[in-house]
C-alpha cells in the first residue's frame, strides 16, 4: 500500500512539525517513532514523549484505505533532508517494513506495531476554550521564556506561569534571580485560569507558532483549553496536548518593585552594545558587571581573574542619586536582546535592591533583576 506520495518539501514540513519532541534515546524505543495512521485518504501523524503529544492531519496522496504503523521519526527526516525539495517521494508498506522511495533512491525502514505506541490519556474535563492570535502568544513567549529556570529543584520554576482572566493574558517566568512579565489584551472575555506550562512545551510552541499577520478570519489563531493537569492547544491543523507543572508559582506581584526613587531612560541598542562589550572581560564564573550611575553618566565596568578590565561610559539624562550596583551581565543582555523597542527605562532604588526594566509608557512588559555583590 502507498501510504503517502508527495513532494519532499511537503512531507518534510509535516514530519518536522511533529518531530520536535521526539528524543533519539528513550527508555521506550517506540517513542523515537512517529505514529502514522491512515484513514481513507486522511493521514494523521502523532508523536509523544509521554508528557507531550503532538498530532497533525495532512492531505498527502497515496492509496485510500486504513493502515497504521510507527517508524523512526529522526531517521525518516534525516533521509528526506538529503533529497531535493521538488522531488516526489513515496512511503509504501511492505511486510512489517516501510519503503521510502525518491528518484532512484530506496530506503527500507524497520517499523514497530502501532498498538504498542503509548498515547497520552487526555483529561476528561477541559475548561472552556478560547482563542488568541498565534503571533500574540509567540511574542509573549519570547518576551519571558529566557527567564525560565533550567533543571531547578523547585520544579515549578522550570516553565512559564500562564494567567488568563477577563480580557488579559499574563505570562511570567522566573529562575529566582530575575523575573520577566509580559501581558496582552484579548479580544474575548475568558474565565480566570492559572497554569504552569513546562519548559519543553514552551520551547516547542515557540518553534511551531506562526508570527504571520492577518486580517479577521485570515489571522492564524491558536485555541487553548486547560484541565487541572493538562493543556490542549489547537492551531494550524495541529493538536498539542501537554502535562502541566504542578506546584505553586511565586507571587510575582510581590516581586515586582514599585515606587523607585531613581529612573533612567536610554536607548536599548546603545545599552545592549555597551553591556556586550564589557561582558567580554567578565570572569566566566560570575559574569559580573558594575554599573556606576551618577548625574549625566552611566559607567559600566568589568574585570576578570587575569586582571583585565573594561570600562564603557554612556551619557544619560539623569539627575538622581549616585548608585553603584553589580549585576550578572547575562541577565541584562537576555532581557534587552529579547525586546524590540527603541527605548528602555531602568528604575533603581539603591545598590542592594532589585532593578526594574520596563518600556517607557508601556505596562505590558516588566523585567526584574536582582543585584549581585562584586
pLDDT tens by residue, 89-133 = 999 999 899 999 999 999 999 999 999 999 999 999 998 888 899
Share of the chain above pLDDT 70, in %: 100
pLDDT at 262: 95
pLDDT at 187: 81
* Mean pLDDT of the region 289-308: 96
Does residue 270 have a pLDDT over 80? yes
pLDDT at 219: 86
Nearest to 163 by CA among 250, 94, 87, 103: 250
Q: At what angle do helices 329-337 and 268-279 cross, to 10 degrees?
A: 140
In the structure, what pLDDT confidence band is assigned to residue 25 with cuts at 50, 70 and 90?
Answer: confident
pLDDT at 344: 97
- Global pTM reads 0.91
pLDDT at 320: 93
pLDDT at 116: 96
Average pLDDT over the chain reads: 94
Range with lowest mean pLDDT among 90-104, 185-199, 287-301, 305-319: 185-199
Provide the β-strand partners of residue 164: 169, 193
At residue 9, φ and ψ (nearest 5 deg) are -65, -35
Within a 13 Å sphere around the CA of 351, how many CA atoms are in the beta-carbon half?
Answer: 14
Q: Vertex 24, ends 35 and 48: CA angle to 5°? A: 35
* Mean pLDDT of the region 238-262: 94
pLDDT tens by residue, 201-247 = 999 999 999 988 877 778 899 999 999 899 999 999 999 999 999 99
Amino acid at each position: 500500500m502507498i501510504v503517502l506520495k508527495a513532494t519532499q518539501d511537503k512531507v518534510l514540513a509535516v514530519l518536522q512539525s511533529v518531530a520536535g519532541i521526539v528524543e533519539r534515546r528513550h527508555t521506550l524505543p517506540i517513542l523515537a517513532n512517529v505514529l502514522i495512521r491512515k484513514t481513507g485518504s486522511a493521514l494523521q501523524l502523532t508523536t509523544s514523549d509521554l508528557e507531550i503529544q503532538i498530532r497533525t492531519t495532512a492531505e498527502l496522496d497515496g492509496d485510500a484505505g486504513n493502515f497504521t504503523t510507527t517508524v523512526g521519526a529522526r531517521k525518516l527526516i534525516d533521509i528526506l533532508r538529503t533529497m531535493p525539495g521538488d522531488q516526489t517521494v513515496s512511503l509504501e508498506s511492505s511486510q512489517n517494513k516501510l519503503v521510502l522511495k525518491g528518484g532512484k533512491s530506496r530506503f527500507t525502514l524497520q517499523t514497530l506495531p502501532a498498538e504498542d505506541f503509548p498515547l497520552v490519556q487526555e483529561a476528561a474535563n477541559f475548561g472552556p476554550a478560547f482563542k488568541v492570535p498565534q503571533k500574540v502568544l509567540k511574542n509573549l513567549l519570547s518576551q519571558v521564556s529566557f527567564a525560565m529556570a533550567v533543571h531547578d529543584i523547585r520544579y515549578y520554576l522550570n516553565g512559564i506561569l500562564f494567567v488568563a482572566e477577563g480580557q488579559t493574558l499574563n505570562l511570567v517566568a522566573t529562575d529566582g534571580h530575575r523575573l520577566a512579565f509580559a501581558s496582552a489584551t484579548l479580544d474575548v472575555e475568558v474565565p480566570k485560569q492559572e497554569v504552569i506550562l513546562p519548559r519543553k512545551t514552551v520551547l516547542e510552541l515557540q518553534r511551531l507558532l506562526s508570527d504571520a499577520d492577518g486580517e479577521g478570519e485570515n489571522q492564524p489563531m491558536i485555541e487553548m483549553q486547560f484541565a487541572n493537569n493538562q493543556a490542549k492547544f489547537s492551531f494550524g491543523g495541529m493538536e498539542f496536548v501537554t502535562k502541566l507543572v504542578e506546584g505553586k508559582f511565586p507571587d510575582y506581584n510581590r516581586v515586582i518593585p514599585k515606587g523607585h526613587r531613581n529612573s533612567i531612560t536610554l536607548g536599548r541598542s546603545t545599552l545592549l552594545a555597551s553591556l556586550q562589550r564589557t561582558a567580554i572581560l567578565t570572569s566566566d564564573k560570575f559574569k559580573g558587571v558594575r554599573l556606576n550611575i551618577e548625574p549625566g553618566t552611566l559607567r559600566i565596568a568589568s574585570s576578570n581573574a587575569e586582571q583585565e578590565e573594561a570600562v564603557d561610559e554612556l551619557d544619560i539624562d539623569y539627575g538622581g542619586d549616585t548608585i553603584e550596583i553589580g549585576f550578572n551581565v547575562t541577565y541584562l543582555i537576555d532581557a534587552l536582546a529579547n525586546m524590540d523597542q527603541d527605548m528602555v527605562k531602568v528604575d533603581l532604588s539603591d545598590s542592594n535592591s532589585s532593578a526594574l526594566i520596563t518600556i517607557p509608557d508601556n505596562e505590558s512588559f516588566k523585567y526584574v533583576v536582582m543585584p549581585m555583590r562584586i
